[in-house]
Amino acid sequence: MWAMQVVAPYTLAEVDVPAPGEGDLNSGEVLLEVLAGGICGSDLPTFRGVAPAGPAMSVFGPPMPGAPLHEVVGRVVASRDPAHEVGSRVVGWATNFDGLAELIVSHGDDLAPASTGLPPEREVMLQPLACVLYTVEQLRRVRAARVAVLGLGPIGLLFAHVLRAAGAASVVGVDAVDRSALAPAFGLDETIHATTRRWVAELKPDDRPDLVIEAIGHNSATVNHALSGCVVGGCVFAFGVPDEAIYPIDFELMLRRNLTLMSGLTLERPRMLTAAADYLNGHPGLAEAYVTDVHPVRAAQKAFDAAVRPAPAQGKITLGYR
């Protein structure tokens, strides 16, 4: 079967590899024919050749074929999970981060039925939306809160939309790219075109948010900027997979301001994917606004090149496999 592989920094190539079959499945696993994939910010360090992470990455040498991509829509070809029947369409996680391939094996608990009726290239957004919805569930106070979202890439845009829908009093977004063109569709009251360092330096005491979502990732400095910008007694959620195991945190600042710093993975994935489908069905037009660029999977190089150099009106980039 075909797969795409990172063979050098910023370089994808198509390779031919053995196809997994029904005999390769363990209990609870399914074999998927991939129909669509979504590029996530956590995929990009591996594409850049910086920080391999996830089960499909090789510690030595290039990442394994199919990596890095974990947001998928697929058709079940074989199943050892009673929740997923052969022939059904599912959405969720490529468990092994190897979704840039014709066929993959995923765990059934990482998937849910694809039920929105959208094309796969748009329906794949249920995976990041599920992550955002789960995060917002964990936050202690959203209603009437003043919120700042640091980083208005695809995840940050979803955070803005979900937090507004959850009753936030105001949502301000900060990004080094001018994202003002996307603001109206995602409920942002204001977009600040600046680095997070500059945002903190120019922030007035009365404008400090109650809640800060750090949605940039891959940079320990931005977590500390989020802490510095938060109001006394406020909360910061650091979203995403870190590039390094240990981040230096300004503990003195957290102590003196009585701050809460949170993070975490998305659990209860089938439930959250179903909740994401319900959310999307309740917000017509969101998928159209969110997925701005669709490329054929054989043009994955072009898609990843665009993802690492975000443009002002660029939202989610997805790949169609058929």
Look up the pTM and report it.
0.95
The answer to whether the 2-124+287-320 and 129-262 domains have the same CATH topology is no
* 233-289 tens-digit pLDDT: 999 999 988 878 889 999 999 999 999 999 999 999 999 999 999 999 999 999 999
* 197-218 tens-digit pLDDT: 999 999 999 999 999 999 998 8
* The pLDDT of residue 267: 96
- Scan for tokens 């829908």, then name that residue: 165
* The pLDDT of residue 50: 81
Tell me the C-alpha distance between 34 and 43, whole Å.
Answer: 17
pLDDT at 51 over 80: no
pLDDT-based confidence at residue 220 (cuts at 50, 70, 90): confident
Contact criterion met (CB below 8 Å) for 96 and 241: no
Question: Which residues sit opposite 289 in a β-bridge?
Answer: none
Mean pLDDT of the chain: 95
Closest CA to 193 of 205, 185, 202: 202
Contact criterion met (CB below 8 Å) for 6 and 68: yes
Contacts for 166-170: CB closer than 8 Å, 24+ residues apart: 166/136, 166/142, 167/142, 167/143, 168/142, 168/143, 168/144, 168/211, 169/144, 169/145, 170/146
Closest CA to 156 of 224, 199, 214, 207: 214
Q: Can you tell me the mean pLDDT for 25-49?
A: 96
Pairing of strands 235-238, 260-262: parallel
* The pLDDT of residue 53: 53
The residue extents of the domains of the chain are 2-124+287-320, 129-262
Which CATH architecture best describes the domain 129-262?
A: 3-Layer(aba) Sandwich (3.40)
Q: Can you tell me the mean pLDDT for 308-322?
A: 96
Is 276 exposed, middle or buried, given 0-12, 13-18 or 19+ CB atoms closer than 10 A? buried
pLDDT at 85 over 70: yes
Closest CA to 305 of 77, 49, 48: 48
- Range 2-124+287-320 has CATH code 3.90.180.10: yes
Tell me the C-alpha distance between 322 and 320, whole Å.
Answer: 6
Pull the structure tokens for residue 155. 């995840």
